[in-house]
């Protein structure tokens, strides 16, 4: 970045015009701090973004993925992952707020920043009180790139232990496509039937993708 005019350097641009004036590569370069023997921080940032397919893809990368780029060591990989996680958390609500979920989109907007871009499939439930206010989240299973195993008994055991009157089930599709699979539909029907027996309402099952979601409530399955 020493080759750039002073006013074109990312740090100076940020100071003068704010972070919104910087490109994705300039923001990544600032997080990295400095380059490598092969080139400056901007060159390394460009290489990272190209490898990840853009900043959205970069949010899905782990430290292991980041260190595969030559010149990006473990310390800076951890630094990048931490910065991305902080950004993700700014999109979530304060933990002290009792969030109420009245519509499928409410749940989707709450869940997408947290789980929509995960690399492995994860299944969890939102434990709700009688007014559909969040008690807490419970993660029940983590699978491989395209599958996760969970049984209704595990779901409702957690719901009972947490004193939930209702639940919203959710899981992510690492492919980014939230279209439910036949197994997703079958699991949802089993969860609904078990909920009737247990006296705990299954409000919805939300499938999360990259910035998109599919609600079984909206599609009429529930």
pLDDT, tens digit (0-9, with 9 covering 90-100), for 88-114: 777 665 556 678 899 999 999 999 988
Q: Which of 54-63, 159-168, 191-200 has the lowest mean pLDDT?
A: 54-63
CATH code for the domain of 66: 1.10.150
d(CA 43, CA 37) in angstroms, rounded, equals 11
Domain total for the chain?
2
Give me the percent of the chain exceeding a pLDDT of 70: 87
Structural domain including 186 reads: 104-215
Q: How confident is the model at residue 6 (pLDDT cuts 50, 70, 90)?
A: very low
Whether the Cβ atoms of residue 174 and residue 180 lie closer than 8 Å to each other: no
| Model confidence, pTM | 0.62
Position 95 in a domain: no
* Choice between 101 and 14, residue whose per-residue pLDDT is larger: 101
Question: Which pLDDT belongs to residue 7?
Answer: 46
Q: What is the pLDDT of residues 70-79, one digit of tens each?
A: 667 787 778 8
- pLDDT of 158 > 60? The answer is yes
Check if the beta carbon of residue 128 is closer than 8 Å to that of residue 203: yes
CA dihedral 43, 44, 47, 52 (to 10 degrees): -140
Contact 22, 10 (CB under 8 A): yes
Within-domain flag for 97: no
Average pLDDT over all residues of the chain: 82
> Is 76 in the same domain as 173?
no
Q: Give residues with Cβ within 8 angstroms of 119, minimum separation 6.
A: 60, 62, 145, 174
Residue 139 clears pLDDT 50, i.e. is over it: yes
Residues 111 and 194 in one domain: yes
Q: Is 91 exposed, middle or buried (0-12, 13-18, 19+ CB in 10 A)?
A: exposed
Tell me which of 90 and 195 has the higher pLDDT: 195
Tokens read off for 45: 């940032």
Name the residue with higher pLDDT: 154 or 22. Answer: 154
pLDDT band for position 5 (cuts 50, 70, 90): very low
Q: Based on the domain organization, do 80 and 144 belong to the same domain?
A: no
């Amino acid at each position: 970045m020493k080759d750039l005019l002073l006013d074109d350097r990312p740090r100076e641009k940020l100071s003068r015009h704010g972070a919104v004036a910087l490109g994705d590569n300039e923001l990544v370069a600032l997080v990295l701090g400095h380059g490598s023997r092969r080139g400056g921080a901007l060159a390394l940032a460009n290489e990272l973004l190209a490898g990840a397919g853009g900043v959205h893809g970069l949010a899905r990368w782990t430290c292991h993925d980041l260190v595969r780029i030559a010149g990006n060591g473990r310390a800076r990989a951890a630094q990048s992952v931490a910065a991305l996680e902080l950004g993700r958390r700014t999109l979530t609500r304060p933990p002290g707020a009792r969030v109420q979920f009245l519509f499928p989109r409410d749940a989707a907007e709450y869940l997408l920043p947290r789980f929509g871009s995960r690399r492995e499939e994860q299944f969890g439930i939102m434990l709700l009180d009688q007014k559909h206010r969040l008690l807490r989240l419970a993660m029940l299973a983590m699978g491989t790139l395209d599958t996760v195993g969970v049984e209704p008994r595990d779901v409702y055991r957690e719901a009972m232990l947490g004193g939930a009157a209702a639940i919203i089930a959710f899981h992510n599709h690492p492919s980014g496509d939230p279209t439910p699979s036949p197994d997703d539909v079958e699991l949802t029907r089993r969860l609904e039937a078990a909920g009737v027996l247990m006296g705990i309402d299954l409000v919805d099952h939300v499938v999360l993708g990259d910035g998109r979601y599919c609600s079984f409530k909206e599609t009429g399955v529930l």
